[in-house]
Structure 1
Amino acid sequence: MFLDTLPAILATRVGVGITEAAIMTVCTTLIVDYWHEQRRRAKYLGLQTVVTTLSATAFIAIGGAVGAAGWRTPFWIYLAAAIIAVPMIVLLWEPNRADAIDAHLRAEKARIPWRRLALPLVVGLFGGFTFYVLIIEAGYLLVGAGVAPTDTPTIGGIAAVASLATAAGAFTFSRIAKVGPRSLLPVAFGLQAAGMLIIWLIGGVPGVAAGAIVGGAGSGLLLPTMLTWALASIRFDERGRATGLWTSAFFFGQFLTPIIMGALTATVGGSLPVAVGAVGIACAVAAILLGFGLRRVAAASVEEIPVAA
């Protein structure tokens, strides 16, 4: 609100990014700690994505509206954080370490379970990239399809509908979570692939709109599925660090999105729809690999049970 130089403003954005990462990590960790039963945990992880998506859509709309009063005005919206910080002090609580459900803190510092986290971290990195492709590129795709850059109602309207599709995908997760990540992850990546291929093969405003909706639904299903999968086998004393690592991987994928898309667009001759289609093909490959790979891992785990017993 009060800074006048670009370096100082960028420095504050770094600070905001650090605190946002902390908020995401702590909120996810608390959800996993508060609810042990898988169905309820899945419900709240799905609702977390729903609330995140809807609030992002709402705050972007509000920011655009109040931005007419000047570029500084939207930053007053951050006061919402101060308003909700007060009830957090009363309403949030630390998980009960005496709870017999979990194997709780040991005397020594818990080691990072790299073996269990390796594949979820790789998938989280790739999922962070694919999650933001359509969010970042939808406006450019619409302008490339003939929508005037000044036609904010059309661009904003399609973006809002795609965001609602993302929220719907996340909301659906809590109702189908019992199917399990080994089935839901391929479906989520498959929906993303379908949406991006629709944009590439159909094209035009209808193709971009339809593809953004289908892909958005896949993204909404993908995020809570990846989280549930990554944290399912993590012990209580490992959760904070494991959640932080996974959040870092997801956000790093987000950071890489514009860089990769810029390089990919240049590689395919400057055609953004073709670049999006190439990412869609990668999503389809990921869906196939995860579909077969996770089933093989599950089968191997079942075979090892008698030996372990």
Structure 2
Amino acid sequence: MSTSAIAPALPAIRTHFAALNTPNVALLVELLVSITALCTGLASPLAGIIADRLGRRPLLLGSLGLTVIAGSAGAVLNSLWVILFSRALLGVAVAGVVVAATTLLTDYFAGDRRETVLGWQGAIVFFAGGVFLPISGALADIGWRFTFLVYLAPSVLVVLGFFLVDEPAPTNHNPSKKNDESVTEVGIEVFTASEFRERLAQVPLAKLATIFATMFLAQIIYFLLPVRGPFYLRTVAAASATSIGVALAGTLLISGVVALEFDRVSRQIGVVGVVALHFGVMSVGYAIVALAGTYSGIAFGLTVVGVGLGLQLPAFNTWTAASVPDELRGRALGWLTSVIFLGQFASPLVTRPLVVQFGLRWTFGAASVTMIGLALVLGGLRLRLDPSASSDR
């Protein structure tokens, strides 16, 4: 919801500001989506540190409040540049929400139960998008400013979070060191600086680099949909904003259903196997989108994309959380969140030359081929990369 909620309104926003002779309007309108991703990516590592040192709950509640204010600001702002600034603030808020919420879930649950809950988290993310995108599309057909009002919805979560969310109790491996100045608090544990260095040495940096690089590529490819998809549907199928919202929502709704099955699939083929499978299925969906010439054909392709996409978030969250010591989990998930949104920001920049030179149809085709390659590579390396088969778990 954070970045793509206004996607159905992008063509109308571009038309509005083009009529006002706004310079570089096409690029600036694309940035309305990607600037949020950029700022989320840049702020996520800091959010991970805040979550580990100051607590998950205050970060979550403060970030939700900022989400409401910054997200809905576009409904009343008249300058495209000022709207861009509000979208940047929204990105900072989203970083706090994502990192705090994911870290809380990994604090509350462990083992198979954690994988199940992370699957639920992914499902809820997709279901929310599936609900709000058609609403956004309908509001965009009334007027593009109304689309920004969907960001008022998290105000309910601020109230619920205040009463229902508890901060995990800190643990202390050596209570006698509480008053020692060399004690450093990281995550929800307290230990000395030398202990921290020892634990940091246990972090599988090569494995994390593989996870983050893979997710970065995945987001460049996925973000073709919210950034380029509305214009593709408008050009190929003359789709209205409501129809665009429905098509994109279908992707997310099926993703939500599939995400609920993540723990079952993961137990069968391992978390890295799930990542490979998600790329394989998404490649089929992107191929259908590239070849289809009608609204129904594109919508069907997007549904297939949704089957693979539903496995993505819980798989990468589980892969990351299982690869680092517990006390560094908040920071690792913060870096993963950063990679996710930096990939989303990079997507329109990386794909623009392809779109300009070859068009959207060929760009979707190239994305399909790329994902087939990723699926084959990860499938071949599954046993080596899977944390369940590693002593680093």
Q: TM-score range by the shorter chain?
A: 0.7 to 0.9
Shift of 1:28: 0.8
Number of the residue aligned with 2:32? none
Q: Is the 8 A contact 1:103 1:235 kept in 2?
A: no
Task: Find the residue that maps to 1:93 and give its secondary structure.
Answer: coil
Shift of 1:44: 1.6
Number of the residue aligned with 1:293? 381
Aligned partners of 1:266 and 1:171: how far apart in 2? 38
Q: In the alignment, which of 181, 185, 195 is matched to residue 275 of structure 2?
A: 185
Give the alignment's Cα RMSD to 1 decimal: 2.8
Shift of 1:66: 4.3
Number of the residue aligned with 2:229? 138
Shift of 1:227: 1.3
Question: Closer, same or farther in 2 for the Cα pair 1:67/1:140, shift >3 Å?
Answer: closer
Aligned partner of 1:246: which letter?
Answer: L
**Mean Cα deviation higher: 216-225 or 156-165:** 156-165
TM-score by length of 2: 0.68
Question: Closer, same or farther in 2 for the Cα pair 1:66/1:277, shift >3 Å?
Answer: closer
**Mean Cα deviation higher: 228-237 or 272-281:** 228-237
Question: Closer, same or farther in 2 for the Cα pair 1:71/1:148, shift >3 Å?
Answer: closer
Number of the residue aligned with 2:299? 209
Aligned partners of 1:104 and 1:73: how far apart in 2? 45
Number of the residue aligned with 1:48? 121
Task: Find the residue that maps to 1:94 and give its secondary structure.
Answer: coil
- Whether 1:257 and 2:328 are equivalent positions in the alignment is no
- Whether 1:127 and 2:247 are equivalent positions in the alignment is no
Aligned partner of 1:247: which letter?
Answer: T
Aligned partners of 1:141 and 1:6: how far apart in 2? 23
Shift of 1:255: 0.9
Q: In the alignment, which of 69, 75, 92 is matched to residue 18 of structure 1?
A: 92
Question: Closer, same or farther in 2 for the Cα pair 1:80/1:210, shift >3 Å?
Answer: closer
Task: Find the residue that maps to 1:95 and give its secondary structure.
Answer: coil
Aligned partners of 1:105 and 1:140: how far apart in 2? 52
Question: Closer, same or farther in 2 for the Cα pair 1:74/1:126, shift >3 Å?
Answer: same
Q: In the alignment, which of 167, 170, 178 is matched to residue 259 of structure 2?
A: 170
Shift of 1:132: 2.0
Aligned partners of 2:285 and 2:135: how far apart in 1? 28
Number of the residue aligned with 2:361? 273
Q: Is the 8 A contact 1:138 1:212 kept in 2?
A: no
Q: Is the 8 A contact 2:137 2:242 kept in 1?
A: no
Aligned partners of 1:148 and 1:195: how far apart in 2? 21
Shift of 1:73: 4.0
TM-score by length of 1: 0.85
Aligned partners of 1:26 and 1:53: how far apart in 2? 18
Structure 1 segment 64-213 matched on structure 2, within 5 A: 64-67=137-140, 70-98=143-171, 104-108=189-193, 111=200, 113=203, 114-145=205-236, 147-149=237-239, 151-179=240-268, 180-213=270-303
Task: Find the residue that maps to 1:233 and give its secondary structure.
Answer: coil
Q: In the alignment, which of 292, 301, 311 is matched to residue 221 of structure 1?
A: 311
Q: Is the 8 A contact 2:137 2:245 kept in 1?
A: no
- Whether 1:37 and 2:111 are equivalent positions in the alignment is yes
Shift of 1:153: 4.5
Aligned partners of 1:67 and 1:154: how far apart in 2? 11
Aligned partners of 2:78 and 2:242: how far apart in 1? 31
Shift of 1:29: 0.9
Aligned partners of 1:198 and 1:8: how far apart in 2? 38
Shift of 1:71: 4.5
Aligned partner of 2:232: which letter?
Answer: L
**Mean Cα deviation higher: 23-32 or 61-70:** 61-70
Aligned-residue identity in percent: 29
Aligned partners of 1:79 and 1:142: how far apart in 2? 28
Aligned partners of 1:221 and 1:202: how far apart in 2? 24
Question: Closer, same or farther in 2 for the Cα pair 1:255/1:177, shift >3 Å?
Answer: same
Unmatched segments (≥5 aa) in structure 2? 1-72, 174-186
**Mean Cα deviation higher: 214-223 or 110-119:** 110-119
Aligned partners of 1:57 and 1:156: how far apart in 2? 9
Aligned partner of 2:362: which letter?
Answer: V
